[in-house]
Structure 1
Amino acid sequence: MSSRPLKFTKTGYRGPGPAHPTNLGPVIGTIARIGARVQRRKSLGVFSTIGRAPRLFRGWLVYSATMMPFGYLSRQDTELIILRVAHIRGSEYEYDQHKDLAARVGLSPEEIASTALESHGFVGRRATLLDAAEEIVKNKQLSDLTWTRLAGVLDERQQVAFVMLVTQYDGLATALDVLNVPVDEKRSGSQ
């Protein structure tokens, strides 16, 4: 049991939130600091929170990296999917992080903003991906029609990768909320 003071709100105890990188040990603390620098943030709450459980953090980091940035889907499609999941879930943290990443991989401000609209406005392949992502988040399943549409734009390997990406970021949105991870503050000079 931790000897640090508990954080209480009007509704009771809120999860541990991010640890200071110096409390994460040399390896995870360094990864958290590097991640924050790459993301142009003062700290990276997702790393500094999950990093409280070192064995879990290492596995999660490798697992996450196999989807983004080293996944089977294009970086632009991956970022659009993550943004749509973040919007549907109401995950301010995920949305804030990934809108910047989406811009870095070449998505326009209009494309990024459209992921947060009730009707995203995409057509074709991207519409299929965003509609399927939304259906998974809302229904925890895909209809036969949506599977048919998805199979028309993704091969079987990509279908598995797509479902794992959507459910990873759906679950991460839950974890970030339950663990009380606030949106990271941007470094000076970052947009």
Structure 2
Amino acid sequence: MSARIAPGGFAEVGPLAWTLARVGGRVSGTEPTRLFLTLGRQPKLLRGWLRFAGRLMPGGTLPRRDTELVILRVAHLCGCAYEWEHHRRIGRRTGLTEDDLRRVEAGPEAEGWTPRQRALLAAADLLHTARDLDDHAWAALREHLDEPAAVEFLMLAGHYDMLATFCNTLRIQPDRSRR
């Protein structure tokens, strides 16, 4: 399946996206990141998105392992191969194992989650299906997150849902490994 908007070259995306794509690929062990080379075709949007997205990941206050679990669950629920593959690599650097990744796919009821992880994943599931949290899910989430962290969690899950929609709609393929 080919991309609906092909990742741009330097002339189409400019120096910022070009550099970010190359650095991102080097850090993740892949070719230059197709997400930056696609979003870079709209440079003003890319700059604004970078500020917002960077406040969630990697600059958020939630522990990195929790952040990656939520991102991976959203990617799985949305069927977003690009985000799944990209964050699978990042997640491994935060200590996620292959067993963790299988459990992310299985969902919050899988054996082995902590109560905190189960609450985060269950909330991500409910946000995906209902676009809301019922009182029970909210209470379970708040047992583990204070108000600022709960706000951040909601923005993180919603942001990666939006990003999955962007990647899926434009048919952005996972970045190929350089190894």
Q: Name the TM-score, length of structure 2 as normaliser.
A: 0.93
Any conservation in 1 of the 2:23–2:32 contact (CA below 8 Å)? Answer: no
Out of 34-43 and 135-144, give the one that drifted further. 34-43
The answer for the alignment partner of 1:19 in structure 2 is 8
CA distance in 2, matches of 1:138, 1:21: 39
The answer for the alignment partner of 1:150 in structure 2 is 141
One-letter identity of the residue aligned with 1:55:
K
1:16-165 aligned at under 5 Å gives the runs 16-118=5-107, 119-121=109-111, 122-165=113-156
CA distance in 1, matches of 2:12, 2:41: 8
Identity %: 37
Q: CA deviation at 1:134?
A: 0.8
Aligned length: 177
Q: CA deviation at 1:176?
A: 0.6
SS of 1:77's partner is helix
Any conservation in 1 of the 2:14–2:40 contact (CA below 8 Å)? Answer: no
Instruction: Identify the structure with bigger relative contact order (alpha carbons < 8 Å, sequence gap 6+).
Output: 2
Give 1 or 2: higher helix fraction.
2
Q: Name the TM-score, length of structure 1 as normaliser.
A: 0.87
Q: CA deviation at 1:117?
A: 1.5
Unaligned runs of 5+ in 2: none
Q: CA deviation at 1:72?
A: 1.5
- After superposition, the C-alpha distances for 1:19-74 in whole angstroms (9 at most, x for unaligned) are 12453112221111111111111120111111110000011111111101110200
- After superposition, the C-alpha distances for 1:159-185 in whole angstroms (9 at most, x for unaligned) are 000000000000100001112211111
Runs of 4+ in 1 over 6 A off after TM superposition: none
One-letter identity of the residue aligned with 1:85:
V
Q: Which has the larger radius of gyration?
A: 1
